[in-house]
Chains A and B, each alone.
Chain A
Amino acid sequence: MTVDNTVIPAFPPLSKTPTGIVGFDEITLGGLPTGRPSLICGAAGCGKTLFGVTFLVRGAVDHGEPGVFMSFEERPRDLVDNVASLGYDLQGLVDSKLIAIDHVHVDRSEIEETGEYDFEGLFVRLGYAIDTIGAKRVVLDTIEALFASFTDAAVLRAELRRLFYWLKERGVTTVVTGERGNGQLTRYGIEEYVSDCVILLDNRVVEQITTRRLRVIKYRGSSHGTNEYPFFIDAQGITVLPITAAGLNHSASHEVIATGIDGLDRMLAKGGFFRGSSVLVSGLAGTGKTTFGASFVKACCERGERCLYFSFEESQSQLLRNLESVGISLEGYIAADLLRVESARPSLYGLEVHLSRMYREIIAFKPHAVVIDPISAFRGPESEVHATLLRLVDLLKQNGITAIFTSLSDAKLRAHGLDREVSSLMDVWVSLGTVEADGEHNRLLYVLKARGMGHSNQVREYHIDSHGISLVRPYVGPHGVLTGSARLNQEARELREGELRKQLVEQRKREKDKNRLLLERKIAEMRAALEAEEFEENVLLDDESRQLLSDDDVRQRLAQARGAVE
């Protein structure tokens, strides 16, 4: 695992020895100071011994550096058994002379002190163990126990000072553990002798949830991360979470991937989300946030990409069963190792531990997309939740992983809630809501923001049915956007009105037609009458001319008859 947030100078001023503890070496820019003693202090049960064992085991296994474990508390047998659960074969390493365990047991009752003494015996034993296996690393766990066994604290202090000086001379990298005392880092104040590097482990309980934290108090000659870093111990040893918010240097992809919902794709100018973007799907209860996430998962898996689904509300089988009901079947993808569902109750661990676990899963599974359902399940101080998400988003962006975060909004607190807190981290924000009208709730969505692309400003109604999520064609009328039955009613009403209008128009058209026919008929009649008039007129004219002719004829014949010539 590498987190390259920090620039390591070209000439490191101090040689460092990697501890092999995931994340710790990043915080300290390389590990513990080589050849010097470092103090690991903390209250009981903080993981000091485990820190030491891990330092030795990883050194032996990964770097071939043998190590000596000098235990002042646990017996070697117990030690071997205790770390076996982490998969460390301590006995095997002892047998192959990579690790030497020396148990220093002092029984106060069988010791009598008389006269001057020193702790040369301790030096002899340690020196012998170091020489036997050629150790480069030494752990003293917990050397302060000696204070309870010897009365002469002044001698012991002087000898411890000499011991640490001697260890430095020998050039072995040493981890000294110390129990935290009142008002000081260790019970007997040995931090004043081991002052090159001091690491504080802490185990804090807030609201009944324990979170382990680690802080580098000082590190002479080196810069280091100064924050308190959460860490946790589980079957894979110690994991420290070094992700800082410092890195804003991830490269942005231009590739667009489908959201898994056709209508939503069309609302986004590019037709989907940018790869590597962080998408917030916020909404009230029952708005289908999980279904939105699952639709995206399905689309990813169909493309052959790997998805990691963190479910904080439902177990895997419940999630799969419920998604079947909306036509999203994911079991095949799980079988094909394209999808992994990680379910855990949010209250099981502290925020930081959740984050660490997610971090590790993400690093291990290398998904293309991640769904976190929901982020609102994380309870805690607002600033902590925000910091946690910030680091998670950073991690995902660093790795170019597209992420869907669902968030349950509270209707009342909506304006002040988590949504606003995280919105600055998100590239795309799809807001889901419901409107109540006419005795029904209807689901609406709109794209609140989509960095780097245009998006529809429309509020869209969507349905969730056995085929998943589908967006409904919007009805935008004179009275705003209508949804559900109101929309259907309105559409029906419009249809009816349209038909009525059509009928009316047709009726009027028919009437007009009739009128026209009437008029045309009248025109025809009048034309006929006119024609009749004209005919009669012609007949009269003809008669007249014939009469005139005949009159002339008669006059001539009369004249002839009279015998007179005119």
Chain B
Amino acid sequence: MSDVQPQPIDANAVGVEGHYSLRLYVAGQTPKSVTALRNLQRICEEYLAGAYTIEVIDLRVTPQLAAGDQILALPTLVRHLPTPLVKIIGDLSNTDKVLVGLDIRRDQPPRVEPSA
């Protein structure tokens, strides 16, 4: 096995208050994982536009990463930042639950990227 390590996620490195650092664990291109990724991207674009990073980890490729975040169920979304660590399992089809899980307020106005 190669010594693949996930990139360290560090609030200081990102340097932005309220930045969401997310990791999605999947195992291959299963319908569930595809659905999960699509749902995640949609929710993030809608509520966290520009203030998030998504790292998709395919455990079929790097199984050694599963133990680090105590992954059992798949797909699992792990919110590393902001702390505390939160895990959301499933295909993220219930947007409300995902928002609650990630601690994003629905009434929070969708961020608008300042135009250049």
Contacts and interface: CB of A to CB of B under 8 A. Distances in A.
Contacts of B98: 112, 114
A147 to B, nearest CB: 12
A10 interface: no
B32 interface: yes
Interface residues of A, number: 26
Contacts of A116: 32, 90-91, 93
A120 B91 contact: no
Contacts of A132: 1
A432 B89 CA distance: 78
Contacts of A114: 88-94, 97-98, 101
A117 to B, nearest CB: 4
A228 interface: no
B28 to A, nearest CB: 8
A198 B52 CA distance: 50
Given A114-B101, A128-B63, A132-B1, A119 B74 contact: yes
Contacts of B25: 121
B74 A118 contact: yes
Contact of B89 (A102, A107, A112): A112
Main secondary structure of the interface of A (DSSP, over half): mixed
B53 interface: no
A105 B72 CA distance: 9
Contacts of B93: 114-116
Interface stretch (B8-16, B79-87, B105-113): B79-87
In this complex, which of A112, A123, A132, A146 has the most chain B Cβ atoms within 10 angstroms of its Cβ? A112
B44 interface: no
Nearest to B25: A121
Contacts of A113: 88-90, 97
Which of A115, A118, A132 has the most B CB atoms < 10 Å from its CB?
Answer: A115
Closest 7 CB pairs of A and B: A115-B90, A112-B101, A128-B63, A115-B91, A115-B93, A114-B97, A121-B71
11 contacts: A112-B97, A112-B98, A113-B88, A113-B89, A114-B98, A115-B36, A115-B94, A119-B72, A124-B63, A125-B67, A125-B71
Interface of A: 102, 104-107, 110-125, 127-128, 132, 146, 150
